[in-house]
Structure 1
Amino acid sequence: MREEVLRRIRARDWAPGAAIPTEEALAGEFGVARATVNRALRELAEEGVLERRRKAGTRVALHPVRKATLDIPVTRLEIEGRGQRYGYRLLAEDRDEPPPAIASRLGLAKGAALLHLTALHLADGRPVLLEDRWLNPEVLGRAAPDFHAVSANEWLLTHVPYTTGDIGFSAANASAAEARLLEVAEGAALFVIDRTTWEGERPITCVRLAHAPGYRMQTMV
């Protein structure tokens, strides 16, 4: 199916900027499961051939570009992969209405209650990552995990498939609270990742990851 989609794009059956048929229509045409279509279109979007927008469908990219592949890592495996001993502490867990900026990013109506988790990840006993996460409780299912025993990062990546998301990178100076938790000087430069993910139309989570100085992110091109 992937090859046929590429053929139609190259033949200009689907011109740059044009909307392509829905996943349901393509699944019916090719006689495959919708999940197969979703996977093929997602891969082509990651390669820059297609542009996918939540609630706006899928279009042929106007200016195809080669995109970097960025997988969401399991923090525990990332730390252990560096030969370091992993540690984890859940600092806070409660249900609350998210700030307006978070609710807007997740497309939630005013008054929606989310699970708010704050956690610290450690390498060889030293704090290296402060995680501030808002989580849609609907994705937890009947058997809600014990986030004291497993991080939300690891549980979500092994239990809840995401279909789309957005991610931002920035530098920030550590606040007094962040400096205390990460054991760095107030005002120290932190590498910050802001990420939001969805499963179809259902929001999953919005998380702010503040990495202590020295963190190095790797990706593939």
Structure 2
Amino acid sequence: MSAPKGWEAIRAEVLARIDRRDWAPGAVIPSEADLAEEFGVARATVNRALRELARQGVVERRRRAGTRVATHPVRKATLDIPVTRLEVEGRGQRYEFRLLERVFAAPPPVVAGRLGLAPGARLWHLRTLHFADGRPYLYEDRWLNPAPLPGRAPPAEAAQISINEWLVRNVAYTFGDISFSAEAAGEAEAAHLGIAPGAALFVIERTTWAGEVPITLVRLAYAPGYRLHTLL
């Protein structure tokens, strides 16, 4: 067959094969490398097509387990990684941030395990406090793998626009996972956010990956009153 052109055409072809039951619900489809060879395109083009199908709930993607046709396709909420500055300014508020810590250190075992790294690996640990109209808005605790970074370290620019914004602009990810929870504020979070220990916080934990390479694990603790808005 003639090769599809662009990720949109590959997405359409994969969807057509699923609709024809060439790949039944629950079946593992060919790997990105195999599809790229079949269609005569770069693997990144196939990856983009499959990511879009995963966002639509047509396929399910698992690290090291491949891509599987969804057994019960569903519509999914759209969740992008937000730039905190734009989030605050979109509320009509003045944005500031303060970098509290930047060290190169061995992470706790639970962090290394979440990122699939061997014991003894060293990561950048960055803690940032974001403000809206001068009041604490978000406390960010991030472990960052140097491997996918230009120069293997956050550049000086990251101190000017926050590591959150720098990563969104400069380091592409292929997939990740995210969790949401309501948690009681620990002493450190309470002190930085100016609230009482034990106060209820909305917490997001997120990991991102570039292929098999982990990028970051970040914990975001929002001050009381935060609301998450997304699309269906």
Q: TM-score range by the shorter chain?
A: over 0.9
Pick from 161, 175, 184: which aligns with 1:164?
175
Between 174-183 and 197-206, the greater mean CA deviation after superposition: 174-183
Q: Which position in structure 1 is the counterpart of 2:5?
A: none
User: Distance in 1 between the 2:162 and 2:194 partners?
Assistant: 20
Tell me by how many angstroms 1:163 deviates: 0.3
Pick from 3, 25, 31: which aligns with 2:34?
25
Give the secondary-structure state (helix, strand or coil) at the position aligned to 2:159: coil
Query: Which whole-Å deviations, capped at 9, do the CAs of 1:143-191 have from their partners, x for residues lacking one?
Result: 7412432311111110000001000000111122211110112221110
User: Distance in 2 between the 1:87 and 1:144 partners?
Assistant: 19
Q: Which position in structure 2 is the counterpart of 1:48?
A: 57
Give the secondary-structure state (helix, strand or coil) at the position aligned to 1:73: coil
Pick from 183, 189, 196: which aligns with 2:207?
196
Amino acid corresponding to residue 163 of structure 2 in structure 1:
A
Q: Which position in structure 1 is the counterpart of 2:136?
A: 127
User: Distance in 2 between the 1:139 and 1:2 partners?
Assistant: 27
Query: Which whole-Å deviations, capped at 9, do the CAs of 1:107-142 have from their partners, x for residues lacking one?
Result: 000000001011100001111100000000122212
Q: Which position in structure 2 is the counterpart of 1:102?
A: 111
Pick from 7, 23, 28: which aligns with 1:14?
23
Amino acid corresponding to residue 155 of structure 2 in structure 1:
P
Percent identity of equivalent pairs: 68
Point out where structure 1 has 5 or more consecutive residues left out of the alignment. none
Whether 2:155 is the aligned partner of 1:145: answer yes
Whether 2:59 is the aligned partner of 1:65: answer no
The TM-score with structure 1 as length reference comes to 0.97
Give the secondary-structure state (helix, strand or coil) at the position aligned to 1:5: helix
Tell me by how many angstroms 1:72 deviates: 0.6
Which consecutive aligned stretches of 4+ in structure 1 deviate over 6 angstroms post-superposition?
A: none
Give the secondary-structure state (helix, strand or coil) at the position aligned to 2:160: coil
Return closer, same or farther for 1:109/1:145 CA change in 2, 3 Å cut-off. Answer: same
Pick from 76, 83, 88: which aligns with 1:74?
83
Tell me by how many angstroms 1:193 deviates: 0.2
User: Distance in 2 between the 1:17 and 1:186 partners?
Assistant: 46
RMSD across aligned positions (CA): 1.1
User: Distance in 1 between the 2:130 and 2:154 partners?
Assistant: 21
User: Distance in 2 between the 1:99 and 1:63 partners?
Assistant: 37
Give the secondary-structure state (helix, strand or coil) at the position aligned to 2:53: helix
The TM-score with structure 2 as length reference comes to 0.92
User: Distance in 1 between the 2:34 and 2:231 partners?
Assistant: 32
User: Distance in 1 between the 2:48 and 2:36 partners?
Assistant: 12
Pick from 207, 210, 217: which aligns with 1:206?
217
